[in-house]
Amino acid sequence: MDNDSPLSALRNLGPAMEQAFARVGIETVGELRDLGTDAAYARLLQNGSRPHFIAFYVIEMALQGRPWNDCKGDEKAALRVRFDTLKSRNTDPDTDAFEAMMNAIGVIER
């Protein structure tokens, strides 16, 4: 697969992830590879995507050409540390708490 391929050409990445990345200006395999998992995921967080550890490591596994569920043990623990660091640097805990409260009472974005 070449660098101009759409993101959905990568193992594990489907239309939803492709759409999320398109919203932040990442549309090709090459763009994702150039940024790497951390920078690409930080862009998603900075633009309002909710943090989700599985999505983070799915991206990492996709870039390595591995099945998403191949991430285990020490490797998964190390990825969790990277994810937690990205989350703390790129999200606002007050906003996240407010959003959680609004979701709990049924307020949805239109």
Q: How far apart are the C-alpha atoms of 56 and 80, rounded to whole Å?
A: 9
Calculate mean pLDDT across residues 40-51. 92
Flag whether 90 is in a domain. Answer: yes
Structure-token match 């932040």, residue found: 24
Phi, psi of 28 (to 5 degrees): -125, 160
Provide the b/e sequence for 34-55 (b: ≥16 CB within 10 Å): ebebeebbbbbbeeebebeeeb
| Model pTM score | 0.80
Calculate mean pLDDT across residues 74-86. 94
Flag whether 45 is in a domain. Answer: yes
Residue 1 pLDDT class (50, 70, 90 cuts): confident
- Number of domains into which the chain is organized: 1
User: Which one-letter amino acid corresponds to residue 78?
Assistant: A
pLDDT computed for residue 91 by the predictor: 78
CATH number of the CATH domain containing 73: 1.10.150.20
pLDDT computed for residue 107 by the predictor: 60
Domain assignment of residue 85, given as a range: 7-104
